Structure 1
Amino acid sequence: MDIRLYAIYIPGQTGGVADINNNIVYAGNNSEYYPHELVHLYTFKMYPDGYHFWLNEGFATYIGGSGGKSLDWHIEKFRKYVHQNPNFEISFKTLKGYIPNGLHSTEFRYVIGGLICKKVFEVKGMNALFEGLKNVRTDEQLYLFIEDNLNVKKEGFSEYIKQILE
């Protein structure tokens, strides 16, 4: 097993890794409870053939938060960033890493994926999220999932997310 536990240490935060093959959660930074990683164990057992990264991390953040903080906490950090950067483009292809606000606490894909999951749950319910985890693999499939469940086309996705944050 090649788990680099030192890689989950982030000063001042909690951290964890789900070893989905062995059904184990490794928790770092003196944290003994990491629900985000428990969600990953569940989704892997339910959907072992894979799922889109944004949807998977979004679902784990929606249900279990991330870094010891709730999805709503991360949404607030994202909201502040978008208000300070109104021309910011939200895209599955280009966004990776943390919101550049100096905190290293909110990963774009986790919070935006979480927003997608939250909105799909509000509109269509949990079964729609489960269908997405089961069937969505590519960016194009994720855009179609969003269009089918939220009536938002690919071209309007960035503006839709910004409207949620207003």
Structure 2
Amino acid sequence: MKQILLILTTFLTLACNGQETKQDKFVLTISPIIDKSDKTNQKVIETLTEFLKTKNTSLTENKFWVQTDFQKYIYPYLDIYNIENSKYGKDFYRPTLVDIISTENPTQKIVKLAFIGHNKETQENQLRSIYNIIANILKDKVLFSRYLDFSTESWKTVNSGSLTYKISPNKTINEVEINEQQKDINKICNFFQCKPIAITYYSCVNPKELFEIKGFDYHPIMYADKTGGLADYGNIIFSGNNSEIYTHEIVHIYTSNLFPKIDKFIDEGIATFMAGSGKYNYEWHRNKLEKFLNENKDYDFATHTNAYERIYFENETSIPYITSALILERTLRIYGKEKLIELLKSENELWTTLKTVGITKENINTEIRKQIKLPLIARVSLGLQSQQ
């Protein structure tokens, strides 16, 4: 990583100067360490230029990308889709080809891209990310593919029920957690009355490794947390928790398949209600919310329904997540499971949906504070786990 950043500094100024003079014309800056006289490199550069010029027109097709990736990953280059845009304007971050690296496979090369912006007002250069893709060298053309298959080709594969685990070589597989995860999936299927969904689970030791297998050498948040993960398109789980159990994210796989229009706020609520968040179960976070409200008596729930607003209590409890979960618990208590499923299915705007269960901007503060004082709803009868 240090070596890569050192290389970047040698031509960062050159790249950003190019931005100043050609703002309305696409420019791919090429690192001086790349041999431009090499015919294969020439073809990679030519194709890369065309891909970068066209990638933001569609997430589901691109003639410069391997077709099978769209079937497997749905949106294979989502990580760099519209990555050029920022609060400073469209196309603020410009692409730089950092390197073209040979692999043991003569038909594949690693293409390393940096996205760099230059702020004219402050004269500061800003690095958005460094990202890898694979160039597949064919007889008459080059096609790009996602880095993930290449980066995990030596990882151990373990099958368990509907799960296919990809285990990092930096960790020891946990058979107990695999069994517990399968039990949780059975409970999810029982709750939603559905069949198991085939899921690929990448088990990483930490978020840094998670970002690396996805293709990032640098991303602003890859060092921010010591745990974490996400559910991705194509029924993929990325776990950075050094663990074979991540029920919260697996709930998201099921909701995205069963309720494709689900509101993000409600989606995080159902995952938290069923599986907790982070290291702790729903009951633990529910108790933390009560403590939070005792210390923040004027907190306004109506203005904090963005699921991804980073409001954390004691560094563990997402207040938006647990707010939504409590609304769903209230829905179950008053209206029953059928009504809760209606909330998950709803395609309406959030407040329109919440109004159907008696929650409005005017009464949400009263209703949440009332609900938190009631005993936790009996979850055993719902087929839900009691532990994360």
Normalised by the length of structure 1, the TM-score is 0.82
CA-based RMSD: 2.3
1:142 counterpart = 2:357: no
CA drift of 1:163 comes to 2.1
Q: Which has the higher contact order (CA 8 A, sep 6+)?
A: 1
1:85 counterpart = 2:296: yes
CA drift of 1:143 comes to 2.9
1:53 counterpart = 2:264: yes
1:98 counterpart = 2:311: yes
CA drift of 1:136 comes to 4.5
Q: Which amino acid aligns with 2:231?
A: A
CA drift of 1:10 comes to 2.3
2:336 to 114, 125, 129: 125
Aligned-residue sequence identity (percent) comes to: 31
1:154 to 349, 353, 361: 361
Match of 1:29 in 2: 241
Aligned-partner Cα distance in 1 for 2:371–2:281: 17
> Residues 97-138 of structure 1, C-alpha deviation per residue, up to 9 Å, x if partnerless?
223x4x321112210011011111122222211111111442
- SS at 2:230's partner residue? strand
CA drift of 1:31 comes to 2.1
Aligned-partner Cα distance in 2 for 1:31–1:98: 25
> Residues 60-107 of structure 1, C-alpha deviation per residue, up to 9 Å, x if partnerless?
1111111021111111111111101111111255662223x4x32111
Q: Which runs of 5+ in 1 are unaligned?
A: none
Q: Which amino acid aligns with 2:351?
A: E
CA drift of 1:153 comes to 4.0
Any runs of at least 4 consecutive aligned residues in structure 1 with deviations exceeding 3 A, and if so which? 3-9, 92-95
Match of 1:108 in 2: 319
Match of 1:70 in 2: 281
Higher helix share: 1
When residues 142 and 107 of structure 1 are mapped into structure 2, their CA distance, relative to the original with a 3 A threshold, is: farther
- SS at 1:26's partner residue? strand
Higher strand share: 2
Aligned-partner Cα distance in 2 for 1:109–1:86: 16
Aligned-partner Cα distance in 1 for 2:347–2:274: 19
